[in-house]
A and B are shown apart, each in its own frame.
Chain A
Amino acid sequence: MDPLFTAQLQQTRRQFFGHTGLRLGGIALATMLGENMTASAAPAASGRVHPPLPGVPHFPPKAKSIIYLHMNGGPSQLDTWDYKPQLQEHFNKDLPDSIRMGQRITTMTSNQARLPVAPTKFKFEQCGKCGTWANTELMPFTSKMVDDLAIIKTVHTNAINHDPACTFVMTGREIPGFASIGSWLAYGLGSENNDLPAFVVLTPQFPHNSNGQALFSRMWGSGFLPSKYSGVTLRNAGDPCFICRIPTASAHSSAARCSTRSMN
């Protein structure tokens, strides 16, 4: 990488505040990241606050953003989108070796005397013009939208437990330490949105007594990538962005805190 460009990327807070003009209260992250700043730091990057890597993407993208819902502990694919009618014939029969093919199973089930097949209990129908099979009993509304959905049924993990499987789904590895998918997208594709961070995460709030399944901040962490590619969490309790609230009452204008700029 061009060392001058690298140096500009490593701009100091002095430059940062100098260029952006710090406004509080109604502060917008966009202003914080500042078009001015990018304009000066990386003139080639088309004025975007979160520019993509050079040459990326290599085809004209259709999607503007990606919303990823990680439905941890949700219903099984067999009860939602993955219609497996033959399972009904095998109901309560042992899982054939031709299917299992020596796959490992968790120690929680490996002690079972037998491994019977359990098909879905719900009604499946072909939906929409495309005729996709869907569980219309549990998803009466979503199943009507199948023509607008891309359903991918071909992914799987080798992990048999929640923690490694979720870590794998989100980072590509079962072992912690790698960057999450959102971090990679922020790193490679950046964002066309100049008003928000490239990668935001809405973290859940579980009811008091519910036992939410394995989530870890590594699922939106940047691993070995610089931490600016970490997901910015918007939380479901307290202030969504926990350090945006100014410490005085609202009447105390944020303009009065501008001087950090002139001091730096």
Chain B
Amino acid sequence: MKPSYRHQWLPVVFLTVLGSQILSGAPAEKVDFNRQIRPILSDNCFACHGLDPKNRKAKLRLDTPDGAFKKNEDGIATITPGDLKKSEAWARIITDDEEEVMPTPKSHKPPLNAAQKALIKRWIEEGAQYQRHWAFEPQVKAAVPEVKSPKSEIKNPIDAFIRARLEREGLAWQPEADRGTLIRRASFALTGLPPSPQEVAQFTADQSADAYEKMVDRYLASPHFGEEMARHWLDIARYADTHGLHFDNERQMWAYRDWVIKAFNTNQHFDDFTRDQLAGDLRECPTQDQLVATGFNRCNVTTSEGGSIDEEFIFRYAVDRTTTVIGAWMGLTGGCAVCHDHKFDPLPMKDFYSLYSFFQSGADPVMDGNALLTKPVLKITTPQQQAKLKDLTDKLGAVQKEIDEKVTALPYADPASVQPPVPVEEKETVWVDDDFPAGAKMKTATGNLPLNWVTAENGQVAKGKRAIKRSEKGLGQDFHQDGAAPLNVPVDARIFFYVYLDPTDPPQEIMIQFHNGEWKHRALWGNPDLIAFGTPGTTERFVAGPLPDTSKWVRLEVEAEKIGLKAGDRITGIAFTLFGGTAYFDQMGVNGRSDPAADPAQSFLAWQKQSAGKDTQGAPPENNQLLKEGPDKARSTDQEKALRVYYLQNVCTHTRTALEPLVCERDAVKKEREKFEASTPSTFIWRDLEKPRESFVMVRGQYDKPGDKVEPNTPAIFPPLKKANENARATRLDLANWLVSPEHPLTARVTVNRFWQQFFGTGLVKTSGDFGTQGEIPTNPELLDWLAVTFRESGWDVKALVRMCVTSATFRQSTQAPADHWKCDPENRLLGRGPRVRLDAEQIRDNALAVSGLINLEMGGKGVRPYQPPNIWEPVGFLGSNTRIYKADTGSALYRRSIYTFLKRSAPPPYMANFDAPNRENQCARRERSNTPLQALQLMNDEQHIEAARALAERMMSIGGATPQERVQFAFRRVLARDANADEMKTVLSELDAHRALFKQDEESAKKAIAHGESKPDCNLPAVELASYTMLANMILNLDETINRN
């Protein structure tokens, strides 16, 4: 900041900053720039006269005093402090001239209203004092205010700040709520579950002065605390169980979700919580947990849609990750600065792309491959699993060592270097004649008939004694895949076989197939579209020609190379296949040159020549690299030796035989280890590319228009980044440390505000995702800063902060208040009454499951699939997608907590979406709370809710007591943590009678009412009674009081 600005900027002092238009300040008070003027300028002027130089009109900026007070060529200033007549802006605001008036009609903004004009007028007259935006100023821990209220009503400093404000506004404050309401409020706030009857009894019976605090501590220690806290963070992290775009296939990263739960349960402090998620991989010797935490920035949506352009998606992913980090920690709308300098906040494109540079070099591929696990991933193992894995790895090492030793001892001379050279001979080898290779386990697939060898007496034979006859309406084949010794493919191989097509019933297509680890080598004759194996146009489905003539034996040939077989390959299976008709197959074999010096299966050198310039499947990376570079490139003795050892072990036919038993043993152990590894889950983690990508400001946010180059750095408006290594490129760990440094004006404010929103319904800054100039200013800035600084000074202790919030008298107030209180503060922004909020989607379902006793409180693991109506996934499902068909789980998995529900982004669970849960495509800092007919319908008719009602009804009848009164009281206590009053009892009982009367006349209906859901109704309870209580329970679960935290 230039020194000349100083006299013009006022330090931000919040005196009577009103968060909304609830109350008007005393008229004598000076106009407050941040509260009263900035919103007007920001909404109406800054888009053209603000930070963004590209869109700035008339070279005028109104967001700085310098810009506003500058005189133009005619010596006229836009604003002259204290002098309306010399303020062009004022003239332009009040003029009637359409060409002149501001905001110009071209901006589609309505003219300023009278109140706004009056404020601007006063502000200019009073000296047009600017203030910097409050959120970018350092946090100031104000002294806890003195208040008039008795000390006993002030539980902690939160109350002093809240009460001071209320006193100033002359607003009342409510007494503590009753115990039932309190424990239900605390239980939902801290665990997302209703209190159990035992918990209620314990709390209500506790007469000690700190009964409430002890109750809170019990919930803070509950494992369900982490689940509730994590739920909110997962909205920030945009966690879900599918990739999100196009196929929207499943992805496995629930370990990240479980890590978040664990982090809150173990009270990981927020600074480390930050570091682990942004840079866990850069910590010293990162733990498994720290690596799992880096999944935070792998939660973004990804694609694998064919045709996608790499550069575009690298760009898009990095933009998503950057805006998410900016939103999560700094509460700013970073997305605005992708295409142009932020119009309202001091975040120029250059600063955005400097942050983007931290996240642009992720090692994940552009295309997620529609795979469950898109690299980089981490295997999640327990200590026992790690021990078993080590055991298997050791075993593998031991066998390998034995093999290595044996290899070195084996005599081998490369035929390519033997003198005199080994002679070359043309040779024909028969593979199949009168029988498949010795030991082959014969199989017949698809066709109905078994393998049928015929002789000259009962069929056609070309060579030897017998041939295969197959006759099918559709697809039929005879093949072997194991049992026989592998067959070698010679140099320049041509595979041949004999076939005879029946003239009366010729097949439409014939095919031969070869197995070499996989069935990927096929040649066909005739119509290529009938046998649907392999990819057309590749060696997996080579069209060798038309069908041969019928009624005679024909020798068909195909070059091995055409079907992807090369010299040295080992064939482990052969298939004769046909489609629709009758044919005979006889003698199959191969023609080729026996030239040991040129045969990769015999000559080390020939093998290397063959492998040059391409990838060798199965070879370890370093050997693959050497092979790719070719035999002419210089290599070290060790490299040469490693390659030779690999060749002798895995490729060379002579030496391989000698090693066969050991190799078999090794492969078995290897297989076991692979199987074991496959059974342990993995999760997406973050890793950088070895060489970071260069980052540029992307012109107009276009992925293919790089502009100025940028380095990883933090926005200039904030205190500078401190790097651990001054000379190196800034790292994500530097960034994380910077975010949680005491100088950072935003992180602590944004974080405490989000927790506040969680417990009090609305943040102190209502726009919890926007702390910029377009966001709302805090209702109680002193409190926000006091909390932020206290939180930071506590070492970012989350549980301590949460405890302070929920043990405050503010939180414990009754929600009942006189009508005029509601009128003065309809949104309860000043908290002169207790916070009452509609439960979130997950809490509503969990509540029904919990009070009915259906709930399964098992924690963690793969996402589960509760009831969902048919055809939610299907309309958005691709044929190839593995999340196309929704199949609900069965058994106890149906009753898991909602945080474990499988979340498909392109079709989120309706029970969540109906109650305002986000679809996790983007970050969501604040859920809306809407009220729609679908919500009422869901609660009344949804299978899960009706089943829960029945289960609750069963409990009312079995353990609730003998009389209807007792049973109703049981349900009220369980659901609402209170007794029903006389009026309610009367209504409910008459309701029961009404249901009973109806169900008596219509027992079918009763049976239907209790048959919902997978769990079975108790057959000892009469259907009519149970159905009547079910309807009653359904009503109680539907009460306003039930689905609110009161």
- The answer to whether the Cβ of B472 comes within 8 Å of any Cβ in the partner chain is no
Binding site for A on B (CB under 8 A): 20-22, 244-246, 248, 301, 303, 305-309, 316, 320, 704, 822-823, 826-827, 838, 869-872, 874-880, 906-908, 910, 913-914, 916, 919, 921-922, 928-938, 940-942, 946, 984, 987-988, 991, 994-995, 998-999, 1001-1002, 1004-1006, 1008-1009, 1012, 1027, 1031, 1034-1035, 1038-1041, 1043-1044
Binding site for B on A (CB under 8 A): 3-4, 6-7, 10-14, 16-17, 22, 24, 27, 29, 32-33, 104, 106-109, 160-163, 175-177, 197, 203-206, 209-218, 221, 226-228, 230, 232, 235-239, 241-253, 256-257, 259-260, 262-264
For residue A250, which residue of chain B has the nearest CB?
A: B1005
A177 to B636, CA, bound (A): 55
* Chain A residues within an 8 Å CB radius of B248: 216
A197 to B933, CA, bound (A): 9
Q: Name the residue among A227, A252, A257 with the largest chain B CB count within 10 angstroms.
A: A227
Closest chain-A Cβ to B1033's Cβ sits at a distance in Å of 12
* Chain A residues within an 8 Å CB radius of B20: 3
In contact, A260 and B922 (Cβ under 8 angstroms): no
Identify which of A104, A212, A257 contacts B877 (C-beta below 8 A). Answer: A212
* Chain A residues within an 8 Å CB radius of B906: 215-218
* Chain B residues within an 8 Å CB radius of A228: 930-932
A24-B930 contact, Cβ under 8 Å, with A216-B876, A262-B987: no
For residue A203, which residue of chain B has the nearest CB?
A: B875
In contact, B913 and A10 (Cβ under 8 angstroms): no
* Chain A residues within an 8 Å CB radius of B931: 10-13, 16, 228
A33-B933 contact, Cβ under 8 Å, with A211-B878, A259-B988: yes
Closest chain-B Cβ to A10's Cβ sits at a distance in Å of 7
A212 to B881, CA, bound (A): 11
* Chain B residues within an 8 Å CB radius of A237: 870-871, 874
* Chain B residues within an 8 Å CB radius of A256: 991, 994-995, 998, 1031
In contact, A217 and B988 (Cβ under 8 angstroms): no
Identify which of B21, B875, B942, B1041 contacts A243 (C-beta below 8 A). Answer: B942
Identify which of B930, B935, B1009 contacts A252 (C-beta below 8 A). Answer: B1009
* Chain A residues within an 8 Å CB radius of B919: 217-218, 221
* Chain A residues within an 8 Å CB radius of B880: 211
In contact, B933 and A29 (Cβ under 8 angstroms): yes
A107-B1008 contact, Cβ under 8 Å, with A7-B826, A249-B1002: no
Identify which of A32, A211, A260 contacts B933 (C-beta below 8 A). Answer: A32
- Interface residue SS majority, chain A: loop
For residue A16, which residue of chain B has the nearest CB?
A: B931
In contact, A13 and B1043 (Cβ under 8 angstroms): yes
Identify which of B316, B910, B936, B1039 contacts A242 (C-beta below 8 A). Answer: B910
Identify which of A247, A253, A260 contacts B1038 (C-beta below 8 A). Answer: A260
In contact, B301 and A176 (Cβ under 8 angstroms): yes
A4 to B908, CA, bound (A): 34
* Chain A residues within an 8 Å CB radius of B1005: 248-252
A257-B921 contact, Cβ under 8 Å, with A162-B305, A217-B906, A243-B941: no
A210 to B879, CA, bound (A): 7
A264 to B914, CA, bound (A): 21
For residue B878, which residue of chain A has the nearest CB?
A: A211
In contact, B941 and A13 (Cβ under 8 angstroms): no
In contact, B1040 and A17 (Cβ under 8 angstroms): yes
In contact, A263 and B941 (Cβ under 8 angstroms): no
Identify which of A17, A24, A175, A197 contacts B316 (C-beta below 8 A). Answer: A175
A241 to B935, CA, bound (A): 12
* Chain B residues within an 8 Å CB radius of A176: 244-245, 301, 921-922
A242 to B871, CA, bound (A): 10
In contact, A259 and B878 (Cβ under 8 angstroms): no
Identify which of A13, A197, A244 contacts B1040 (C-beta below 8 A). Answer: A13
New A-B contacts (17) at CB < 8 Å, excluding given A177-B921, A252-B999, A263-B984: A11-B931, A16-B931, A17-B1040, A27-B937, A203-B875, A205-B875, A206-B877, A215-B875, A217-B906, A247-B1009, A248-B1008, A257-B1034, A259-B987, A260-B1038, A260-B1039, A263-B987, A263-B1039
In contact, B932 and A227 (Cβ under 8 angstroms): yes
Identify which of A27, A33, A236, A252 contacts B871 (C-beta below 8 A). Answer: A236
A216 to B827, CA, bound (A): 35
For residue A9, which residue of chain B has the nearest CB?
A: B931
In contact, B878 and A212 (Cβ under 8 angstroms): yes
* Chain B residues within an 8 Å CB radius of A13: 838, 931, 935-936, 1040, 1043-1044
| Leading 5 A-B pairs by shortest Cβ distance | A106-B307, A7-B826, A242-B869, A237-B871, A249-B1005
In contact, B22 and A246 (Cβ under 8 angstroms): no
A12 to B1012, CA, bound (A): 29
A14 to B1044, CA, bound (A): 11
* Chain B residues within an 8 Å CB radius of A244: 937, 941
* Chain B residues within an 8 Å CB radius of A211: 878-880
Closest chain-B Cβ to A254's Cβ sits at a distance in Å of 10
